[in-house]
Amino acid sequence: MGHGIAEVCAISGLPVIIEDAFPEALKKAEVSIKSSLDRMKKSGKIDDTAYSSVLSRISFSSSLKEAVRDADLIIEAVPEIPDLKISVIKDITSSCRPDVIVASNTSNIRISTLADHATNPQRVLGLHFFNPPVVMKLVEVIKSDKTSQEYFDSAFEFAKFIGKTPIKVLKDSPGFVVNRINAPESLLFCLILDKGMARPEDVDAFAKGQGLPMGPYELMDYVGIDTVVHSLEYYSETLDREYGKCHYFKKFMEEGKLGLKSGKGFYVWENGHAKIPEAKPSSVLELLDILAVEINEAVKIIEEGVAAPSDIETGVKLGMNRPFGPISVAESLTNAEIKRKLLALSQKFDTKIFYPAKSIEDGKLREIISGKALKHTEETAQPASDAKAADGDEVVRLERDEQTKVARLILKNTRNNLINQKVLESLEKYLKQLWNDHEINVIVIRGEGDNFSAGAQLTQFFSGPMDFSENARLGERTFRLLSEIPKITIAEMKGFVLGGGFELSIWCDIRVATPEATIGFPETTLGLIPGWGGSQRLSKLVGMSRASYLILTGDRFTGKYASDIGLVYKLFEKTNIASETDRLAADLASRIAPVSAAMAKKLIYKGSEMGTDNGLEMESVAMGLLYGTDDLKEGISAFLQKRKPDYKGR
């Protein structure tokens, strides 16, 4: 962890000293950093110059005293042995400047236990990185009852500065947030084996079938069964004696079956991969059982004032690589459902650890996850759904350029700009904000990076058919705004334009694309249908015959083909599509009267849904309305005076 954290700091431009008591560990650290930078270079994330300058910022030392003497921030990452950590913290704080932050990367040990042995304990806090630090965005910033607010705030800003997404852990309770949410789950999976209820491979097959990236036993093998056992022992001493009920894992550890690191655990490991025997998804658990246990622990964390709902949600998503956290899942379930599940689990596994937390028992789930039931601090009163997104958590960015009268909505959720509920809500919010914005005439929808959007985030949690159906309605409602908003909308199609991403583009007024863009509706090959208006709108644009073919085959096609069939208006090369689209948008924004664009859109879209008589009637009424507008007067006088019009949208 130490060399990973040092590498992150150096990549962010900070000079770092790595100190280790063992010279061979320093050599290993250097090799690991170089191979990590090599991988980044290979994938084009850094070039030769960046590679050398990152390395030039890292130095190595075998003297703790010298390493910490002039440091502005010190992070210890020695093994998780309380006495060792205490002695290292003692040594650091007696050798460094009195005003610098002294942080621990401990996974479990209470920060106040360490601070008690430090000079100036108010500057001791936790900066808990996740493995591997270069990849994982999450950092838990942990406050003990001795940490001063000033140091805590500075550490939070530091985590942001090095490109991480920090969450605030307001009390140094065992396991902090992410490991604590995991704690009862580890016990649950141990008890399943203790009671001989299922085989690891069958439970893993079930979990993966539910969309989890890795089965729980495979994950524990990966982390190390000894680590899991030590954590459970620690929780039995600090949280609840019943965490000591687990026997199976202890037996495995005693037999030296530690998982990946020993080559054998629940599975045999070869070349970093588990050889999982053929399995039949187990029915010992339902997905809701696992989710209920997580929600229960999240509620306990909020009740204890350890963290705010929004931080718990962010922590679990980023720390466990999940598309959703326990708070958003709880928002889609009822108190009664969760309580019933927990009571049943508590009985089935004979432990009070799964017994409903007080707020769930009292029917106050909604209140507690909205943050309203808390008296604790102003931070804890922040609900998950309407919390201000943390930096790096933004899924759509709005750029407004009053000079050109063009706004850009830039999708930036995950590498492929996947669309989930949060993206839809952000799009809806920004489109409504732009609705009456008279400084903006044209809106460009763009994807950050190489892709427009690879579609809907399929791993989002839905509690049932109605929930899924409502999500479809939310997509239709949001995308429809693009065809109704009184502005010209342009979709910039590049890279992947698939499924929900393709649907987003066909709700826009104008489409431009790169010739090699990969477009299509793969839904029918996944047991779905284009559910955000695609089944209705594509045929209006390209005719029923082509739409049937494209939807029923799921075939992908290129931007060039889209242009040939008239779906795309203009092709731009990949290297300059952004500047060309901006140019087109600015040109339209300066030439087209906003009132005309708004009226024309209505006539085209509504007209396509009604008979010719009514359409023509609407057209003549629209002409009458335009007659009195300032834009018409301006358009005609600019034409006669041979100058550029200055439309006001009135």
Q: Is 503 a catalytic residue?
A: yes
# binding residues, ligand NAD (CB under 6 A): 18
Q: Which of 30, 80, 337, 362 binds ligand NAD (CB under 6 A)?
A: 80
Long-range contacts of 637-643 (CB under 8 A, 24+ apart): none
CB nearer to ligand NAD: pick between 1 and 542: 1
21 binds ligand NAD (CB under 6 A): yes
Sign of CA dihedral 599, 603, 609, 615: positive
294 binds ligand NAD (CB under 6 A): no
| Least distance from ligand NAD to the Cβ atom of residue 2, Å | 6
629 binds ligand NAD (CB under 6 A): no
Beta strand residue intervals within 424-471, DSSP E:
442-447
25 binds ligand NAD (CB under 6 A): yes
Tell me the window of 104-112, 263-271, 351-359, 520-528 that interacts with ligand NAD (CB under 6 A). 104-112
Return the residues of window 247-266 that contact ligand NAD according to CB under 6 A: none
| Least distance from ligand NAD to the Cβ atom of residue 22, Å | 4
Contact at 8 Å (CB) between 146 and 160?
Answer: no
CA distance 290 to 304: 22
Write down the catalytic residue from 503, 516, 573, 634. 503
CB nearer to ligand NAD: pick between 10 and 508: 10
Tell me the window of 19-27, 267-275, 297-305, 477-485 that interacts with ligand NAD (CB under 6 A). 19-27
CA distance 420 to 368: 25
Return the residues of window 116-155 that contact ligand NAD according to CB under 6 A: 129-131
Owner of token pair 């550029």: 644
Other CB atoms closer than 10 Å to residue 102's CB: what's the count?
A: 25
Half-sphere exposure for 616 (CA within 13 Å, toward CB): 3
User: What's 353's DSSP letter?
Assistant: G
CB nearer to ligand NAD: pick between 131 and 347: 131
CB nearer to ligand NAD: pick between 314 and 489: 314
- The answer for residues whose C-beta is within 8 angstroms of residue 384's C-beta and 6 or more apart is 309, 310, 312, 313, 325, 327, 328, 331, 369
Q: Which of 18, 71, 75, 88 binds ligand NAD (CB under 6 A)?
A: 88
Largest CA distance in the chain: 92
H/E segment holding residue 60: strand 58-61
CB nearer to ligand NAD: pick between 107 and 581: 107
CB nearer to ligand NAD: pick between 127 and 368: 127
Nearest by Cα to 265 from 219, 230, 296, 234: 219
CB nearer to ligand NAD: pick between 108 and 558: 108
CA distance 27 to 33: 10
CA distance 568 to 547: 14
Q: Which of 36, 93, 106, 144 binds ligand NAD (CB under 6 A)?
A: 106
Write down the catalytic residue from 218, 313, 476, 523. 523
Other CB atoms closer than 10 Å to residue 157's CB: what's the count?
A: 11
CA distance 202 to 219: 14
Strands 442-447 and 406-411: what pairing?
A: parallel
| Least distance from ligand NAD to the Cβ atom of residue 90, Å | 11
User: What's 524's DSSP letter?
Assistant: G
CA distance 592 to 584: 12
Contact at 8 Å (CB) between 1 and 31?
Answer: no
Q: Which of 105, 351, 382, 417 binds ligand NAD (CB under 6 A)?
A: 105
| Least distance from ligand NAD to the Cβ atom of residue 369, Å | 27
| Least distance from ligand NAD to the Cβ atom of residue 414, Å | 23
186 binds ligand NAD (CB under 6 A): no
| Least distance from ligand NAD to the Cβ atom of residue 102, Å | 14
Q: Which of 44, 79, 196, 628 binds ligand NAD (CB under 6 A)?
A: 79
Torsion of CA 484, 489, 494, 499, to 10 degrees: 0
Tell me the window of 76-84, 455-463, 472-480, 505-513 that interacts with ligand NAD (CB under 6 A). 76-84
CB nearer to ligand NAD: pick between 6 and 454: 6
CA distance 300 to 338: 14
Query: Hey, what are 369's tokens?
Result: 């996850």
CA distance 186 to 326: 16
| Least distance from ligand NAD to the Cβ atom of residue 262, Å | 15
20 binds ligand NAD (CB under 6 A): yes
Contact at 8 Å (CB) between 316 and 181?
Answer: yes
528 binds ligand NAD (CB under 6 A): no
107 binds ligand NAD (CB under 6 A): yes
Angle in degrees, CA 628, 632, 634, rounded to 5: 120
State how far Cα 197 lies from the chain centre: 34
CB nearer to ligand NAD: pick between 167 and 357: 167
CB nearer to ligand NAD: pick between 77 and 411: 77
Tell me the window of 80-88, 382-390, 487-495, 529-537 that interacts with ligand NAD (CB under 6 A). 80-88
Other CB atoms closer than 10 Å to residue 448's CB: what's the count?
A: 14
315 binds ligand NAD (CB under 6 A): no
77 binds ligand NAD (CB under 6 A): yes
CA distance 517 to 532: 21
CB nearer to ligand NAD: pick between 28 and 648: 28
Q: Which of 40, 78, 288, 472 binds ligand NAD (CB under 6 A)?
A: 78
| Least distance from ligand NAD to the Cβ atom of residue 242, Å | 23
1 binds ligand NAD (CB under 6 A): yes
Using CB under 6 A, list all residues that contact ligand NAD: 1-2, 20-22, 25, 77-80, 84, 88, 105-107, 129-131
* Residues catalogued as catalytic: 503, 523
